[in-house]
Structure 1
Amino acid sequence: MNQKLSYLILLLLIVFSGYTQDIALYEQFNGRYDFTFVGNTLNPAENNPTAACNIYTTSSANLNLDSNDSVVAAYLYWAGSGTGDFDIELNGTPVTAERDFPLSALNTDGLTRNYFSAFADVTAQVQTTGNGVYTVSELDLTAVIQDPLYCNIKTNFGGWAIIVFYYNPNLPLNQVNLYDGLEYVPPFINVILPSLNVIDNEGAKIGFLAWEGDASLAVTETLSINGTPLSNDLNPVNNAFNGTNTVTGSSTMYNMDLDIYDIQDNIAIGDATAEITLQSGQDFVMVNAIVTKLNSQLPDATIEINTITQECNSGSISLDYTVYNVNSTEFLPAGTPIAFYINGDFVAGTTTMGDIPIGDNESGIIIINIPAGTPIDYEILVVVDDVGDGTGGIVTETDETNNSVIINETQHVSPPLQQPEDITVCETDNGTNIGVFDFSEYIESLKNNTTDIVTFHTSLTDAIDNVDAIDNPENYTSNGMNPQTIYVRLENENGCFTTGEFNLIAIDCLFPDGTVSLGDIGKSCNSRVITVQYTINNFNSFDVLPSGTPISIYANGEFLDYTETLLDIAIGGIESGSITLTIPDDVPLDFELSFVVDDIGNGTGIVTEIDETNNNTLIPLSLIVSTDLHEVASVIVCDEGFGIGTFDFSDYEESLKNIPTDMVYFYTTATDANQDSNRIYNTTTFVSTSNPQEIFVRVDNGICYNTTSFLLYTKKCPPTTFNYVTPNNDGYNDTFFVEGLRNIFLNFKMSIYNRWGSLVWTGNHSKEDWNGIANVEKIGPEGNTVPVGTYYFVLELNDPDYPEPIVGWVYVSK
């Protein structure tokens, strides 16, 4: 019964089909290099004969290199059952898989099982740590290992390994190749190892990183190279993968192998490939990495650019180069190609002339045309052992990575020169055509780079030959040629130059300075004709102001008239003149009059002056016209007798003015008003001499005047009676006085009655005022003073304007 069960398990281990990743070349090292392994399993025991369904999550191993060994590369591989754990730690440092190799196997039980391997470059960490303990942790496959899917058929495993490549100067020149992938048996696999260059098979060896090999399973299990089975002290010929480590001599690697075999008798000089065959009748083995070391007697071509020579604007360069064969064990053959690239494009090629012995070199010179359109700054790439297509050469070398050199270069072309502007200054003296010029600022402003050199020359030949440079550009005196051409040379750091030119122009700056001032302006009343006295000055000047210099006159900015200077006006001199102008009717009485010297009537002049901004003089002007007078109202007062009255017309002094500065005068005749004689000064109590009386007014603005008149009238006003009479001859109220009566109402009649209605006194214009004495014999003898008491009067004015009598009372006392 037990025998049948064991046989059933064996049958289940025979893989029917699956998915793998073919093993292929990953990296190659040529030189004094070798390799070693360091690693460990996570399995506590071998899966056979009894599987252990548990696993560790950490394990350690020691790296021991010689003192002369220098690590150049270190690659960490870890693997196990399941789909993978790709985040682990190496000596406590997190590591994440950079590559992975999944594998699936369909067994005869009809179930698919997954396995994995992962890869990470740990070169920097190993170079830093060096020899010592390396511990992989956080590789947790516990759940997978306990799964009956794996444990029941004894393919539960986990482990890790670091493949270390190192340099040692005492080693022969070797070619070390690393191939990786993930392939499995049973029943068998064939792996072709390409890219071999077997020059000498002495010391040749091959190493394997494999998983899940069991020492207790050795059913037709062989590892062969080129048809010859391999074996060593740890690995029998019929049990190649048996949980061993050739580096440490360990046989307890449990389900993983780090095996190294001597193959110098199994590979021939000149071989370019090797065939690895792995056969297993039972054991499920996965090959992860294969490393070969073969002695390599090869040259090592390197190249150096010694000098680069080029002419300005030539479009070509000359390269002086040297090809070396230093780190080599074989001569570099004649005809080794050399390719030249500009900005990545192949532009020229050549070859070495003879065999270059070990440690020797060969120099050469080549002229390269720079392609049109190449930028000023460009890159030269020179590659030895390159036929011009960038894919490599025809010579196998110790190091295929050191064949090139890159140089950043700049085309030697003439620098761009910005056209310098001409420079204009004043002559040193009239008519000399000589000036003192400063063009020193061009020394910096014309540069494209701070290293550029700018020089100035008086001839183009001198500028091209770079001789006789002007040494005082900050105060250079021109040679009398006007204009004089100055030639500029702009040279860059490569010696390339460009020439240009500009002119020095000396101009006459000794100019006059015409200004104008205005004098008296003659104006007439009610006239638009004025006469203007003016003076043309040439004060702030260095030359005469020529005769015929135009003078234009404007009214409110509109051209009015034109005149000219009569003679040359000397420096500091003047010329006076007078011009009569008629101001057009459309120009208002108040306007701006301006005289502009050196103006032909449109704002432009004909004379060059020191100051072109001071030619204008402008003044406000008013034409003189007589004052407009409105009708003046008559003045009426009460008649004071015989048609005479007292008048106040002083308020007319202000009301008749048109402007505050006008003067208003009054006269009794028109002749006096026109001649301004016999003015009336008493305008507040003027007593008229007739009724009506005409008063004449003169409104004078200082230049023009106008006259008008108004009438003084008197009128009969109602009389005013007083009510008290004291006939005692004391001079106060001795008579009954009625104001505004006598000499006004010539036909009046006054009647006075006592309180009983008896007539006491009558009077008219021919009689004196009543003095309290009766003149009618009614209450006593005539001529007697009436008794004290109240009396009544009736005043009849006998005037059409006052038809009704005035009735009132008066009191008589002693």
Structure 2
Amino acid sequence: MFGASSQLMAQDISLFQQFNGHYDYTAFGNTLNAIENGSGGNCSILTSSSADLNLNANQNIVAAYLYWAGSGNGDFDIALNGTPITAQRTFNDALDPTRVFFAAFADVTDIITNQGSTTYTISDFDLSAIINPFCPTGTNFGGWAITVIYQDDSLPLNQLNVYDGLQSVPTFLSITLDNLNVLDNEDAKIGFVAWEGDAGLAVNEQLTINGNVISNFPLNPANNAFNGTNSFTGASDLYNMDIDVYNIQDNISIGDTSATIELTSGQDFVMINNIITVLNSQLPDASISIDDYIVNCGDNSVELFYTVYNTNSTDTLPANTLIAFYVDGILIGQSQTTNAITIGASESGSIIVSVPDDIDPNLTIIAIVDDDGNMTGTITEINEDNNITFEDIELLVIPDIVTLPNLIGCNEGFEISTYNLYDALEGQDFNEENITFYQSLEDLETGSSPILIPSDFNNTSSPETIYVRLTSPPCYEVFQFDLTIENCPPFIPDGFSPNGDTLNDWFNIEGLYNIFTEHNLIIYNRYGDIVFEGNNDKPWYGKINRGLNKQGSKAPVGTYYYILNLNDPNYQPIVGWVYLNY
């Protein structure tokens, strides 16, 4: 019946599910109205009704969606062949604040698959308590419909789109269906589930697709599209509901990505709840996932493991399909598939990408399949909006190098000393098993050529920088320190015995020779005469090399006085006594 819709409530028709393959659909259902409504009609309403599903043996159920609707705020708990059903989604619309309507949805695939072609009864659908106020204006109704999508190998490869929502028209309604991809318009079809249409009202009621009036005469005349019919069964007694399907081969063109449905009505109030399009479409559909990744300490390179899919498709995805990887809009890597990916198949791959140094270490890598590196695709696909994925990644940033105090060693000759490198870490909390020493930062970063015996290490230069890698999961810390040399005070023995037994045969002042290379040693006898003068190249073996007599001969047994001038600004001359014996 007529009413001026205030559109107080409505949910725009939008894509709910898409199926690509050898798919088609059928629909069945029934009304709860015993007769068509009207201001003078019967005000009673049924609480159950039945309808038959008839499928061929080669038609395999893929999905089944139950829609039910009626006057009032809604009954969302009903039963299908005795199985309780609760609405998974709900919709609502209104003519005015007192005349509100509802619709509901439930996925009943399991029930329909298990029971197959048989009679289905909706029960416990009770609007009797609220129907009376709607009867005077002829807006009292209730009904249900099940859309069944099936697979049949004899069918062409189709794209089947299920749209739903709840939009009404008493005067004019326009709905644009997106996500279409028309490859071949042969046998293209569009179907509807609509509520509250009246067979007795045909005032300026017209349904158009892309500006073309469509009809299924005589079941659905051009001036009375929503008239209580089921196009699949030919039934005309679905009072105040419609399950209709139309061939639109001549109303849609190859290459179309959308279609516009327009409905006008001068009196009848109609609510569109479900729209289905079936179009021949043999196209691939590339999508991608990032499955895993590897990051290394202090390295801006990331190894990505990914999979390219051709799942929701009706054709093979070509080999060498391009893949691009981005961070903050910057292209950081490109790859491509190796093989042609058949319908429903996938291919895995990996790539190492390098992240710019100035990017925040907490970053998001975006992967796009069918992308030439300029965010542009080159392959026509069923769905161009599912080619992208992303992965949040944290680079393993190594903390700044900590500089430790120098480790000082005594010069053992020629600027060489022996060090226990662990001594440089005094005061640090560490376990020797977690510490590794290196002679270059490059070796540390690659983990190559570690110092094998850190507790007994001889420097190779002075100063020499040593690098320390301290394992600190998930990464490591880095320290560095310098090995430096100082000339430590020499150790001067009390005596020596140059008797040729190779033991203590010379005045061996430890820490002197090849260390204080500019030193001068003077030996005096007890009378104050100089008997020997030596330097770094001339140690004292107990022989006389000064004085007028006895040069080259052995000095007598006895105590001798020495003056050792190290010629080092850090030291004063050292004096003392040494005993010579044979």
TM-score normalised by L of structure 1: 0.45
Instruction: Indicate which of 369, 388, 391 corresponds to 1:384.
Output: 369
* 3-state secondary structure, aligned to 1:340: strand
Distance 2:25 2:279 in 1: 11
Distance 2:443 2:270 in 1: 88
Determine whether 1:146 maps to 2:132.
yes
Distance 2:315 2:76 in 1: 46
> Which residue of the partner structure matches residue 436 of structure 2?
455
Q: CA deviation at 1:219?
A: 6.4
Identity %: 39
2:293·2:302 contact (CA, 8 Å) conserved in 1? yes
Pair 1:85–1:299, CA change in 2 (3 A): same
Q: CA deviation at 1:422?
A: 9.1
Matching of residues 570-719 of structure 1 within 5 Å = none
Distance 2:18 2:347 in 1: 24
> Which residue of the partner structure matches residue 47 of structure 1?
37
Pair 1:404–1:244, CA change in 2 (3 A): same
1:198·1:271 contact (CA, 8 Å) conserved in 2? yes
Whose relative contact order is higher, 1 or 2, with alpha carbons under 8 Å and at least 6 apart?
Answer: 2
Matching of residues 247-262 of structure 1 within 5 Å = 247-262=232-247
Q: Look up the equivalent residue of 1:119 and give its one-letter code.
A: A
2:77·2:85 contact (CA, 8 Å) conserved in 1? yes
Q: CA deviation at 1:79?
A: 2.3
Q: Look up the equivalent residue of 2:93 and give its one-letter code.
A: P
Q: Look up the equivalent residue of 1:158 and give its one-letter code.
A: G
Pair 1:380–1:258, CA change in 2 (3 A): same
Instruction: Indicate which of 52, 63, 79 corresponds to 2:69.
Output: 79
Q: Look up the equivalent residue of 1:88 and give its one-letter code.
A: D
Q: CA deviation at 1:193?
A: 3.9
Q: CA deviation at 1:116?
A: 1.2
* 3-state secondary structure, aligned to 1:19: coil
Q: Look up the equivalent residue of 2:468 and give its one-letter code.
A: V
1:347·1:369 contact (CA, 8 Å) conserved in 2? no
Q: CA deviation at 1:274?
A: 3.5
Pair 1:85–1:257, CA change in 2 (3 A): same
> Which residue of the partner structure matches residue 347 of structure 1?
330
Pair 1:200–1:130, CA change in 2 (3 A): same
Instruction: Indicate which of 152, 156, 175 corresponds to 2:140.
Output: 156
1:341·1:380 contact (CA, 8 Å) conserved in 2? yes
1:85·1:140 contact (CA, 8 Å) conserved in 2? no
Q: Look up the equivalent residue of 2:130 and give its one-letter code.
A: V
Q: CA deviation at 1:157?
A: 0.9
Matching of residues 696-775 of structure 1 within 5 Å = none
Instruction: Indicate which of 185, 188, 192 corresponds to 1:201.
Output: 185
Distance 1:38 1:278 in 2: 23
Pair 1:267–1:362, CA change in 2 (3 A): same
> Which residue of the partner structure matches residue 488 of structure 1?
468
> Which residue of the partner structure matches residue 25 of structure 1?
14
Distance 1:188 1:465 in 2: 72
2:322·2:336 contact (CA, 8 Å) conserved in 1? no
* 3-state secondary structure, aligned to 2:329: strand
Q: CA deviation at 1:207?
A: 0.9
1:190·1:277 contact (CA, 8 Å) conserved in 2? yes
Q: Look up the equivalent residue of 2:135 and give its one-letter code.
A: C
Determine whether 1:37 maps to 2:20.
no
Determine whether 1:288 maps to 2:273.
yes
Instruction: Indicate which of 295, 298, 318 corresponds to 2:283.
Output: 298
Pair 1:335–1:228, CA change in 2 (3 A): farther
How many residue pairs match? The answer is: 469
Distance 2:267 2:442 in 1: 96
Determine whether 1:119 maps to 2:97.
no
Determine whether 1:182 maps to 2:182.
no
Pair 1:459–1:236, CA change in 2 (3 A): closer
* 3-state secondary structure, aligned to 2:129: helix
Q: CA deviation at 1:208?
A: 1.2
1:635-684 deviation per Cα after TM superposition (whole angstroms, max 9, x unaligned): xxxxxxxxxxxxxxxxxxxxxxxxxxxxxxxxxxxxxxxxxxxxxxxxxx
1:219·1:282 contact (CA, 8 Å) conserved in 2? yes
Distance 2:382 2:249 in 1: 20
Query: How much is the aligned-residue C-alpha RMSD, in angstroms?
Result: 5.7
Instruction: Indicate which of 93, 105, 108 corresponds to 1:102.
Output: 93
1:175·1:293 contact (CA, 8 Å) conserved in 2? yes
1:336·1:351 contact (CA, 8 Å) conserved in 2? no
1:338·1:349 contact (CA, 8 Å) conserved in 2? no
* 3-state secondary structure, aligned to 1:142: coil
> Which residue of the partner structure matches residue 404 of structure 1?
388
1:473-501 deviation per Cα after TM superposition (whole angstroms, max 9, x unaligned): 6xx45769999997534478999984634
1:29·1:399 contact (CA, 8 Å) conserved in 2? no
Instruction: Indicate which of 356, 359, 363 corresponds to 1:370.
Output: 356
1:679-717 deviation per Cα after TM superposition (whole angstroms, max 9, x unaligned): xxxxxxxxxxxxxxxxxxxxxxxxxxxxxxxxxxxxxxx
Distance 2:471 2:213 in 1: 75
TM-score normalised by L of structure 2: 0.60
1:325·1:357 contact (CA, 8 Å) conserved in 2? no
Bigger Rg, structure 1 or 2: 1
Distance 1:313 1:480 in 2: 28
1:412-462 deviation per Cα after TM superposition (whole angstroms, max 9, x unaligned): 6546666779999xxxxxxxx9898988999x95589xxx96324688898
Distance 1:113 1:236 in 2: 32
Q: CA deviation at 1:174?
A: 1.0
1:177·1:293 contact (CA, 8 Å) conserved in 2? no
1:114-154 deviation per Cα after TM superposition (whole angstroms, max 9, x unaligned): 1413334x33x53476343766555432233223xx32443
Determine whether 1:270 maps to 2:261.
no
Distance 1:164 1:242 in 2: 22
Determine whether 1:56 maps to 2:39.
no
Pair 1:382–1:471, CA change in 2 (3 A): same
Q: CA deviation at 1:237?
A: 4.9
Q: Look up the equivalent residue of 1:104 and give its one-letter code.
A: L
Distance 1:136 1:262 in 2: 29
* 3-state secondary structure, aligned to 1:151: helix
1:159-187 deviation per Cα after TM superposition (whole angstroms, max 9, x unaligned): 223445566677513141415332234x6
Distance 1:434 1:271 in 2: 82
Q: Look up the equivalent residue of 1:293 and give its one-letter code.
A: V
2:11·2:91 contact (CA, 8 Å) conserved in 1? no
> Which residue of the partner structure matches residue 680 of structure 1?
none
2:404·2:479 contact (CA, 8 Å) conserved in 1? no
Distance 2:335 2:245 in 1: 41
1:22·1:183 contact (CA, 8 Å) conserved in 2? no
Q: CA deviation at 1:189?
A: 4.7
1:250-301 deviation per Cα after TM superposition (whole angstroms, max 9, x unaligned): 4432221111222223323233444444455665443333222212233322
Matching of residues 546-561 of structure 1 within 5 Å = none
Distance 2:387 2:431 in 1: 40
* 3-state secondary structure, aligned to 1:130: helix
Pair 1:483–1:28, CA change in 2 (3 A): closer
Distance 1:277 1:154 in 2: 24
Distance 2:446 2:274 in 1: 71
Q: Which runs of 5+ in 1 are unaligned?
A: 1-12, 106-111, 425-432, 509-814
Q: Look up the equivalent residue of 2:225 and give its one-letter code.
A: A
Pair 1:350–1:484, CA change in 2 (3 A): closer
Matching of residues 433-448 of structure 1 within 5 Å = 446=430
